[in-house]
């Protein structure tokens, strides 16, 4: 691979690096600041390189946000910024009102990861999180292993702890398959392998209920453009200002790599398939992008990109009926996310 390039200085004055993975189909750039994906380009022989990922040219533009980053210790929201393990309560860093979002104010998206291995096709990053980091118990070692093979970018997330702790890792890339000049993703056809989802309250905390997607605007079991139902006056869409919900995958496939979701850009035929070992994923339609940040292609406004975040159940430590996200010292955390890109005939119906 080409030598990594300096990408800028972190808020703590450390040097962040930019790594390139490339083959004949994809060119991917990743920085060790937040372990984040900076760019993904589809290398089309006829149309040239097409940017499929929202991102920035300067490191400083990533400060304070989760664009492209590895999320941890716990992706999504934890109600009240607190939980208990084995009868002992823990108070967390609160960064979403009274709640904890994506691990707190200084979650993994805002850390400089160490590089363990880098080549033309692979990048392995490591991060150590001290006992008490953002209020979470236990010292935790985390690995993010990116691998490029043909038109698939894989991300393996692993972790080990010395005390019981909450771990729910994911990643937060924003995609726009229309390319750098596309205004938004409202025309993208979305398919999600989920018969049920987690309703939330007005703070977007799961209520504890598991609800069927049938007969609601959250039914993506067949390919559906985002625009078709995003303005529906449904309480769940009002709370989130669009889609920002956890969809539950097939129970029998949990722990094994399975197809989870698909986005398709009808005009170009570009398609993204998400595969994962996780029990579900958060689907987010970029509702809170407000034009205040300028990235590749211009200002990122509402629905400029779409995010799929495979993960465990949000707020699980506070919901005993949800599958646990507590990691114990005798268990190794290991989950896989795959992003598979393809191009079919423009206007053809998406296959499931």
Say if CB 271 and CB 262 are below 8 A apart. Answer: yes
Backbone dihedral region of 97: left (phi > 0), alpha (psi from -120 to 50 degrees) or beta? Answer: left
d(C-alpha 291, C-alpha 183), whole Å: 11
Asked if 311 and 281 touch (Cβ cutoff 8 Å), the reply is yes
Q: Tell me which of 172, 188, 245, 265 is the catalytic residue.
A: 172
Q: Which residues, 6+ apart, have CB-to-CB distance to 61 below 8 Å?
A: 293, 294, 295
CB neighbourhood size of 91 (10 A): 11
Establish whether 172 is a catalytic residue: yes
Of 110, 245, 265, 309, catalytic: 309
Picking from 285, 307, 304, 286, the residue whose alpha carbon sits closest to that of residue 294 is: 304
Q: Helix, strand, coil: what percent of the chain each, to 5?
A: 10, 45, 50
Length of the chain: 352
Question: Residue 344's closest CA among 273, 241, 289?
Answer: 273
* Residue 188 annotated among the catalytic residues of the structure: no
Do residues 213 and 194 touch, judged by C-beta distance below 8 A? Answer: yes
Residues designated as active site: 172, 309
């Amino acid at each position: 691979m080409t030598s990594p390039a300096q990408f800028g200085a972190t808020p703590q004055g450390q040097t962040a690096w930019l790594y390139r993975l490339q083959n004949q189909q994809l060119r991917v750039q990743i920085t060790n600041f937040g372990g984040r994906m900076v760019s993904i380009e589809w290398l089309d022989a006829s149309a040239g390189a097409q940017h499929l990922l929202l991102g920035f040219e300067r490191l400083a533009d990533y400060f304070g946000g989760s664009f492209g980053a590895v999320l941890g210790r716990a992706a999504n929201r934890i109600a009240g910024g607190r939980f208990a393990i084995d009868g002992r309560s823990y108070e967390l860093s609160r960064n979403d009102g009274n709640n904890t979002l994506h691990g707190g104010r200084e979650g993994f998206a805002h850390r400089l990861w160490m590089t363990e291995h880098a080549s033309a096709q692979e990048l392995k990053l490591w991060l150590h999180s001290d006992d008490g980091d953002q209020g979470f118990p236990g010292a935790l070692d985390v690995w993010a292993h990116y691998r490029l093979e043909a038109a698939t970018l894989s991300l393996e997330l692993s972790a080990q702890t010395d005390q019981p702790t909450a771990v729910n890792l994911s990643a937060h890339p924003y995609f726009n398959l229309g390319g750098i000049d596309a205004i938004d993703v409202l025309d993208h056809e979305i398919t999600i392998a989920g018969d049920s989802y987690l309703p939330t309250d007005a703070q977007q905390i799961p209520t504890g209920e598991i609800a069927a997607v049938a007969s609601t605007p959250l039914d993506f079991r067949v390919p559906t453009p985002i625009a078709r139902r995003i303005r529906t006056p449904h309480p769940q869409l009002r709370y989130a200002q669009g889609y920002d919900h956890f969809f539950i995958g097939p129970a029998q496939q949990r722990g094994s790599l399975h197809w989870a979701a698909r986005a398709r850009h009808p005009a170009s035929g570009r398609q993204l398939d998400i595969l994962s070992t996780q029990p579900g994923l958060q689907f987010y339609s970029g509702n809170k992008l407000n034009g205040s940040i300028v990235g590749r292609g211009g200002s990122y406004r509402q629905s400029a990109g779409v995010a799929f975040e495979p993960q465990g159940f949000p707020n699980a430590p506070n919901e005993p009926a949800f599958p646990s996200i507590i990691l114990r010292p005798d268990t190794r955390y290991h989950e896989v996310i795959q992003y598979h890109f393809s191009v079919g005939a423009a206007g053809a119906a998406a296959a499931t």
